[in-house]
Amino acid sequence: MLLNLFFRCSCGLARLRRVERLAWMRLFPALRLYRCTVCGKKQLAPKQAAETARVSARATNARASSTAVRQGVVAGGM
Nearest to 54 by CA among 43, 45, 41, 42: 45
| Choices 8-16, 18-26, 45-53, 60-68 (CB under 5 A): range interacting with Zn ion | 8-16
Q: Select from 9, 14, 33, 57 the one that contacts Zn ion (CB under 5 A).
A: 9
The reply on whether position 45 binds Zn ion by CB under 5 A is no
Radius of gyration of the chain (CA): 18
| Residue 33 is a binding residue for Zn ion (CB under 5 A) | no
Q: Which is nearer to Zn ion, 39 or 73 (CB)?
A: 39
Establish if 53 lies at the interface with Zn ion (CB under 5 A). Answer: no
Query: Is the Cβ–Cβ distance between 69 and 34 less than 8 Å?
Result: no
Burial classification of residue 33, based on how many CB atoms lie within 10 Å of its CB (0-12 exposed, 13-18 middle, 19 or more buried): middle
Binding site for Zn ion (CB under 5 A): 9, 11, 36, 38-39, 41
